Chains A and B, each alone.
Chain A
Amino acid sequence: MKKLLNNWIVQVLLFLSLLGLTAYGSQMINDIIPPYLLMIAFFIGINLIMALGLNLITGVTGQLSLGHAAFMSIGAYSSAIATVNFDLPFLLGVLIGGLIASVFGVIIGFPTLRLTGDYLAISTLGFAEIVRVQFTNMKITNGAIGFLGIEGSTTFPIVMTIAVLMICLMVWLENSRNGRAMLAIREDEVASSAVGINTTLYKIQAFAIGAFCAGVGGALFAHTTTFIQPTDFGFQKSVDILSIVVLGGLGSIPGTIIGAIVLTAAPEILRPLSNYRMIVYGLLLVVIMIFRPYGLMGGVNLRQAVRRAMMFPKKKQAGREE
């Protein structure tokens, strides 16, 4: 069984069937659930895609970034310009959004070579503000008034398929040579250099991939809401995405998934509380962090837990055979 799973042809087949299943399943969900719930599901998917990117930068590689919304906005605006001004197909626009955000990820990745911790956080924050002000003043983005007339091309199956694609990418990366090097940088940067890890390369790589995810998320966002303005991508948005990663458990992919679901759905579920909604939401965050200081899935080794759960019935069976 294990050998079979290690065969790359089997892996590719599994991967493709997973994507197919996702597309099919989400189409079914799309047809069944009410539009209001569907909208929440849309945003869970989009937030998840962006949070996976930030998880790589902050959770895995340990580079605290407070500017994730900037990459999102770059993806949103450049994809919107691509599909509206240049009449490019939607999916190509999404790809362009991701790639341009990624280029900016590399650029903002450079300060990380000299800065760490709080200092890096401040500089990413500054970068995000610069980007936001730029979009407010540019003609092509229609400034503060906002970019109108984007087609609502994003569909639920597209969001879900891309989300699953990103999860697979992150799982694969986590178990790769590159992913381990990123984790080592978070653990101890000096020791990483000492064992021959090119810390520069992997930090920039993390920013490039992380920003790509945010850009793709932003592009999907723009083509969902059909209208975007610079205030959609302020500091609050960066904090929202960071909350998902921290609440889920820094560096944990399952944690990021659960974080995206909980934190996207919570404000909607709390909507009946009207004015008290954000207070309760804030309290919820505080309470979770008190009881699970390392995040919901922090410190949980999922693979070990699953293996343990699977071992148990096996032993029982062996006993029965005796």
Chain B
Amino acid sequence: MLTLEKINVSYGSIRALHGISLEVKKGEIVALIGANGAGKSTTLRTISGLLKPSNKDSRITFKDVQIQGMLPHKIVEMGLSHVPEGRRVFPEMSVYENLLMGAHSRKGKPGQADFDRVYHHFPRLKERIKQLAGTLSGGEQQMLAMGRALMARPDLLILDEPSMGLAPMLVEEIFHIIEDINVAGTTILLVEQNAHLALEISNRAYVLETGEIVLEGLAQDLATNEDIRKSYLGE
């Protein structure tokens, strides 16, 4: 569904990504793990068109269409939604309005079915539709950010650290919901610091270190890999 080939990205003179290649197949959950500053968010921002690769021979393909250089909103229209790092809900809008904004890329008004799908995964949002998003708890904001992305009916959902700053209980809940969303038919690319849980729910995973992919494989294999256990699972 999504392939990246030889992506370089720089912030000014700072090279953040050095020739990243990766692939996400239809129906998968793929995890991208790595330490702080490894370039995980940069990778996701490049996929969704917020950043541009600096080299000409790079290639990003989504559903067999080349999407590098496309504007972000066009990419969303194609069925790729990005839940950015740190949630970024619209604070002065209600939960309902946030969800409505999520459906912006689709022509016409979203139907009740769209809202119901979000409420099915996130029942807590339903109880709070009139509340201002800025007054939600961190966990609820994460749910809203994910629900908002679902409103676009994406085929591929890319999530940037959905567990950041959440209590362990809530992290588990979020990961279960991610699995449910996947089972319901959405392919997922997941960036996580919480490598343990990420590897548990993923099919495959990539390990990113200072802008390069150093390891890739089946999630269960990586979970038993010595190096990974030492560096990312804290054992």
Contact = CB atoms under 8 A, between A and B. Distances in A.
Interface string A179-213: 01101100110111111111110000000000000
B101 A190 contact: no
A177 interface: yes
A184 B73 contact: no
B76 A195 contact: yes
Interface in B93-107: 93, 97, 100-102, 104-105
Contacts of B105: 195-197
Residues of A in contact with B, size category:
10 to 19
Contacts of A184: 90, 93, 101, 104
A181 B50 contact: no
Nearest to A197: B104
Nearest to A200: B71
Contacts of B126: none
A193 B50 contact: yes
Nearest to B71: A198
A34 to B, nearest CB: 43
Which of A190, A192, A195 is packed against the most chain B CB atoms within 10 Å?
Answer: A195
A194 B91 contact: no
Interface majority SS on A: helix, strand, loop or mixed? helix
Contacts of A198: 71, 73
Given A195-B101, A196-B104, A188 B76 contact: no
Contacts of B48: 193-194
A194 B91 CA distance: 15
Contacts of B49: 193
Interface stretch (B31-39, B80-88, B209-217): B80-88
Nearest to B85: A190
A194 B51 CA distance: 12
B71 A194 contact: no
Contacts of A187: 90-93
A194 to B, nearest CB: 5
Given A195-B101, A195-B149, A188 B90 contact: yes
Interface of A: 177, 180-181, 183-184, 187-188, 190-200
Given A188-B88, A193-B72, A198-B71, 20 more contacts: A180-B101, A180-B104, A181-B101, A183-B92, A183-B93, A184-B101, A187-B93, A188-B89, A190-B50, A190-B84, A194-B50, A194-B82, A194-B84, A194-B88, A195-B101, A195-B104, A196-B104, A197-B73, A197-B104, A197-B105
